[in-house]
Amino acid sequence: MEREGFTDVVGPCSAQLDLRERRAVLDWFASTRPDVVVLAAARVGGIKANAARPTEFLSDNLRIQVNVLDAALEHGVERLLFLGSSCVYPKFADQPIREEALLTGALEPTNDAYAIAKIAGLLHVQAVRRQHGLPWISAMPTNLYGPGDNFHPEHSHVLASLIRRFHEARTAGARRVVNWGTGTPRREFLHVDDLARACLYLLEHYDADGSVNVGTGTDLTIREAAELVAEVVGYQGAVEWDAAQPDGTPRKVLDISRITTLGWAPRIGLREGIAEAYAWYVEHRASAAL
Ligand SMILES: NC(=O)c1ccc[n+]([C@@H]2O[C@H](COP(=O)([O-])OP(=O)(O)OC[C@H]3O[C@@H](n4cnc5c(N)ncnc54)[C@H](OP(=O)(O)O)[C@@H]3O)[C@@H](O)[C@H]2O)c1
């Protein structure tokens, strides 16, 4: 946002402002009085973290959303963008997934608590639009990756965890790497800077009830993604798949015609983006003990 010329951009980290604390959130809005809010904060994680801690995924996300959206309403925030997620669409939604698929079928059970919380957030934004006439909107990003990603061994998403695993295998001279699942599910990946540009674009060009998918509209298998990461990282050992572990949704790719019709398109190719994410990981691994 600063690169695009915005000034006075604030984004307190959770240590400064725990968004689960209602009083603290209301006080922060009263003293900061933001004109525009992008609600990206959430408890986020991969299959393992979602399966292990559904209570926190539900409770933390509901509290973060209710507190921020209530405070934004109370303080008359003019424009608000809430980030949903492509995980909230039904498990067997027709592919590519259109925005209309929301709430048309059963959820993927491995992340249903997170999905239900996010769906509540989407409906909360719609309710405020209808009842209070405020031009608040929601976006539905696909799987994200890029510099600054979460590389935690248990809480990271697929590309970040592959980057870490292959890097550690290469530096340790390991001859085999075992990945979770069969490698056959198909996924779409969007660079975080493309999402950031899409958020700004939507804030500038979109004002309607329905949420907007943000992705690349193209997918590949997890196995192909793993091969690409191994290549970028320079890992040359064997890659095996532990089919006893859950795969999650079989295919997930977004129909991005709503946002492309508005005039936005992704710019960063997957190989280029993975190389950038890997460079960030290597640089920060040492300093941040990632
Ligand atoms: N990653 C994806 O593939 C993906 C896909 C679709 C949608 N999304 C959405 O995109 C958003 C960002 O996801 P991400 O992957 O970037 O997650 P992330 O790396 O885990 O970052 C989550 C952010 O939320 C903040 N946060 C969490 N709990 C908080 C709390 N109690 N109080 C204040 N801040 C809190 C964290 O702040 P601190 O770092 O200061 O703790 C962090 O900045 C989320 O809304 C997520 O649902 C992500």
Q: Is the model more confident about 280 or about 46?
A: 280
pLDDT tens readout for residues 69-88: 999 999 999 999 999 999 99
User: Does the beta carbon of 19 lie inside 6 Å of ligand 1?
Assistant: yes
Strand-pair partners of 221: 186
Closest-CA residue, ligand 1 atom 24, reads 41
Give the model's confidence band at 288: pLDDT under 50 very low, under 70 low, under 90 confident, else very high: low
Give the model's confidence band at 157: pLDDT under 50 very low, under 70 low, under 90 confident, else very high: confident
Residue spans of the domains in the chain: they are 22-288
Predicted model pTM: 0.94
pLDDT, position 106 = 96
201 belongs to the catalytic site: no
User: Does the beta carbon of 59 lie inside 6 Å of ligand 1?
Assistant: no
Q: What is the mean pLDDT of residues 241-261?
A: 92
CATH number of the structural domain 22-288: 3.40.50.720
pLDDT, position 284 = 95
pLDDT, position 289 = 61
CB 108 within 8 A of CB 115: yes
pLDDT tens readout for residues 95-134: 999 999 999 999 989 899 999 999 999 999 999 999 999 9
Closest-CA residue, ligand 1 atom 41, reads 14
Q: How far is CA 265 from CA 185, 216, 217, in A?
A: 25, 8, 10
Mean pLDDT for all residues in the chain: 95
